[in-house]
Amino acid sequence: MVQGVIILGMSQSVLFNALVVLGPTASGKTRLGVHLARTFNGEILSADSRQVYRGLDIGSGKDLSEYELDGVRVPYHLIDIVDLDYEFNVFDYQQRFYEAFEQICARGALPVLVGGTGLYLEAAVRGYRMVAAPRNDALRAELEEMTDSEIVARLVAAKQGRLHNTTDLESRDRIIREIEIAEYARDHEPPPAPDVRPLVLGTLWDRAELRRRILVRLKERFDAGMLDEVRHLHDDLHYSWERLERLGLEYRFMAEYLQGKGGNRNDMVQKLWSAICQFAKRQETWFRRMERNGTQIHWIPRGDFNVAKAVVEAALKHA
């Protein structure tokens, strides 16, 4: 059992009680995380904003077969936990993460957080202070009388100019809910959070090679029936095109294509590939900002398991 080890290369020794494996899309972070979990008696906690949804299997890249090594299933959490009817958010994620984190620790296992959704990763390891805000009908009535620009200004003021990302501004309903949460949080202290002290590893790839990997994976997903998955979500499960488009990237492009908005299939695939590559660059930018803000990331070239294992073992030797 790994109860605590030391993060190397810091000004003072800091015990860690979790591993984090982050990286851009298609960088092999799930495979690396599973191998590390298998080696160090760990359980996986997913940090992916779409894998939380049931039914988003191929397009979100759940790849659940990767969680089995040598006939042994590595436990995983925070995948397939809500239906698409529910608008999952970072507060929901943080609460679910804390619950799973404490349960894993209580079992004597090592939490291994794996993913590329920067906001979820930081909510887990940097302890964003969030509270469960109840519905405020009086506030909602007041906000409904305001213009879109006025409620955006109200949100910016409520958050003191600090919006975590642009998803805060995706819809009027979402903006109103964000204001409700932010204004409630000003006067209510959140409950204490678990003490999460992570050793953070990051998968590092040459940009051209990562683009190639993204294209290969995209073609594999189309071959696996990704387009049929979206058609099923709309035609059989009756989720609206708008709901599917809000999921972004694969689901947005395919929903638009199935509505006749995306040109021919080849054009759609090329545009989607380009969009995913741009998304990967934004993920890398987020991780670099995490470093500037004090998160030490041990970069693992090409997600090499042996290199990552050596980093953890070196830390264990200095515990």
pLDDT tens figures, 13-55? 447 899 999 999 999 999 999 999 999 999 999 999 999 999 9
Provide the pLDDT confidence category of residue 239 given band limits of 50, 70 and 90. Answer: very high
Is the CATH number of domain 5-129+191-317 3.40.50.300? yes
Q: What is the pLDDT of residue 126?
A: 87
| In the predicted structure, residue 220 carries a pLDDT above the cut 60 | yes
Contact between 197 and 14 under an 8 Å Cβ cutoff? The reply is yes
Cα distance between residue 52 and residue 57, in whole Å: 10
Higher per-residue confidence, 141 vs 15 = 141
pLDDT score of 141: 92
**Residues whose CB falls within 8 Å of the CB of residue 87, separated by 6 or more in sequence, listed in order:** 174
The average pLDDT across 130-134 equals: 77
* HSE of 52, CA atoms in CB hemisphere, 13 A: 22
The residue with greater pLDDT, 153 or 278, is: 278
Among residues 15, 73, 24, 63, the alpha carbon closest in space to that of 220 is found at: 63
pLDDT band at 1 (very low <50, low <70, confident <90, very high): very low
Specify the pLDDT at position 8: 38
With a cut of 90, say whether residue 162 has pLDDT above it.
no
Mean pLDDT of 141-165: 84
